[in-house]
Amino acid sequence: MGWRCCWCIPKVEEPQANTRSDTKSYPWEIYSLKELLSATNNFHKDNKIGEGGFGSVFWGRTSKGVEIAIKRLKAISAKAEMEFAMEVEVLGRVRHNNLLGLRGFYAGGDERLIVYDYMPNHSLITHLHGPLAADVQLDWSRRMHIVVGSAEGIAYLHHEASPHIIHRDIKASNVLLDSEFQAKVADFGFAKLIPEGVSHLTTRVKGTLGYLAPEYAMWGKVSESCDVYSFGILLLEIVSGKKPLEKLPGGVKRDIIQWATPFVEKGSFDSIADPRLKGRFDRAQLKNAVRIALQCTDSNPESRPSMVDVVEWLKGGGVRRKEVVFAKDMIGEDDYNHDDDDNEDDSFTVSRGLGLLTNATPSTKRTQIGAKMK
Ligand SMILES: Nc1ncnc2c1ncn2[C@@H]1O[C@H](COP(=O)(O)OP(=O)(O)OP(=O)(O)O)[C@@H](O)[C@H]1O
């Protein structure tokens, strides 16, 4: 299956046979424009549910009564066409309970439309920092469920999809929540397919500030461990309710790792928990989650765990001990190398520093900064 635009001929392959991670099959189809116009009341403004870099997202109901979400490309450009093609290409290849289901697409004239399962509980960012934050619908167990689900979705992309897929834009607005608050990783417009045997690629930097791994932000070196880094930031964001980057009085930017590090050094993990939880969280799980987040955001990509490790640690409640060194010139503190060997593994250290460079940037807006960095 495919369509032709002025400069690219993306191929959308038939969905592959279900793998062991699949829970059900989501066959996709090519929709007619008529059906999608009718489903959305001609893309009526009342049907609009969101807006992103790609365009607007509309709620609709098909003639069979199924609720759908439709992403409508705002303007045709080479870049937008590439995102559209990538999204359809990647989502057409994968099926997993924690990845947003592709229902199909329409491409004709100036219209590019992608049809997804509708996610009634919106995106994670809406609950953490957006209009639903005050409702505190995300209690601790929902948060942990979302964390594990997102990790499983990413692990599937890295280890089970063929070829392997690097998402490159893991962040709170790209985790959607179904009616059961189950996480669905979405937005594959920036994804990269990794050929067998290739450990990393060098590429233009795409993604979102605050979530970018340092080696990727600085040198465009992309591998699965870039998603692991972004997941680490997301994990800390979920447990703490803090944004990945915050502006301090005076305009200085502080990233979430810089914020959490002093609490970890003091063993004061409770101070990291989202105050909106009002103390209702599992302390051991919190500690474990913070440790995993720190390992995921190690400045050395080689030292980061795989997403399979992360899933295992999240589920099993244990993270391996590791060595940590804080770069004093980056965080203005003496090197930290506290290792008291007391089995109560408060005493780990993390090699860090470059990550702070990545985040010393103005906003968490989605960006392409490759050109600027040359
Ligand atoms: N399948 C869906 N079901 C329900 N709401 C959705 C769905 N897909 C997207 N949305 C809503 O539309 C919003 C915009 O989504 P979109 O993926 O276009 O942009 P984004 O991820 O928020 O930002 P960016 O494109 O800059 O990364 C989302 O935040 C979400 O609230």
pLDDT 10s digits, 317-359: 666 544 433 333 333 222 222 222 333 333 232 333 333 333 3
pTM: 0.81
For the segment 168-196, the average pLDDT, to the nearest whole number, is 93
Q: How far is the CA of 57 from the centre of ligand 1 (A)?
A: 7
Annotated binding-site residue? 24: no
Does the pLDDT value for residue 237 go beyond 80? Answer: yes
Pairing type for strands 366-368 and 206-208 reads antiparallel
Q: Which of 215, 244, 168 shows the shortest CA–CA distance to 351?
A: 215
The reported pLDDT for the residue numbered 18 is 34
Strands 29-30 and 102-108: parallel
Six token digits for residue 115:
């049809």
Q: CA torsion 311→315→316→318, rounded to 10°?
A: 70
> Which domains are present in the chain?
29-117 (3.30.200.20), 124-373 (1.10.510.10)
CB of 119 shorter than 6 A to ligand 1: yes
The CB of 173 under 6 Å from ligand 1? The reply is yes
> What's the pLDDT tens digit per position in 125-144?
999 999 999 898 999 999 99
Pocket flag, ligand 1, residue 123 (CB < 6 Å): yes
* DSSP labels, 280-349: -S-HHHHHHHHHHHHHHT-SSGGGSPPHHHHHHHHHH-----------HHHHTS---------SSTT---
Cα–Cα distances in angstroms (integers) from residue 145 to residues 9, 151, 239, 281, in the given order: 39, 10, 12, 13
Output the six-digit token pair for 66.
């199924």
- Inter-residue contact 85 to 98 (CB < 8 Å): no
Q: Which of 117, 169, 187, 255 is catalytic?
A: 169
DSSP state at residue 52 = -
Instruction: List the one residue out of 273, 238, 223, 264 whose CA is nearest residue 346.
Output: 264
Residue 119 CA: nearest ligand 1 atom is 3
Tokens coding 91: 């989502």
Per the omega criterion (within 30 degrees of 0), is the bond before 262 cis?
no
Q: pLDDT of 156-168, one tens digit each?
A: 999 999 889 999 9
Is the predicted pLDDT of residue 122 greater than 90, yes or no? yes
Mean pLDDT score, 289-309: 98
At 74-98, the pLDDT tens digits run 888 888 898 898 889 888 889 999 9
* 282 in active site: no
**Alpha-carbon distance 169 to 321, whole Å?**
28
Mean pLDDT of the chain: 81
ipTM of this complex prediction, to 2 decimal places: 0.96
Tell me which of 123, 167, 212 to substitute to probe ligand 1's pocket, judged by most ligand atoms within 8 Å of the beta carbon. 123
The finding on whether 176 has its CB within 6 A of some atom of ligand 1 is yes
CA of 70 to the centre of ligand 1 (A): 10
Q: Is pLDDT at 371 greater than 80 in this prediction?
A: no
Compare 7 and 204 and report the one with higher pLDDT.
Answer: 204
- Residue nearest atom 13 of ligand 1, based on CA coordinates: 50
- The DSSP call for residue 106 is E
Regarding the beta carbon of 80 and ligand 1, being less than 6 Å apart is answered no
Using the mean position of ligand 1's atoms as its centre, give its distance from the Cα of residue 114 in Å. Answer: 12
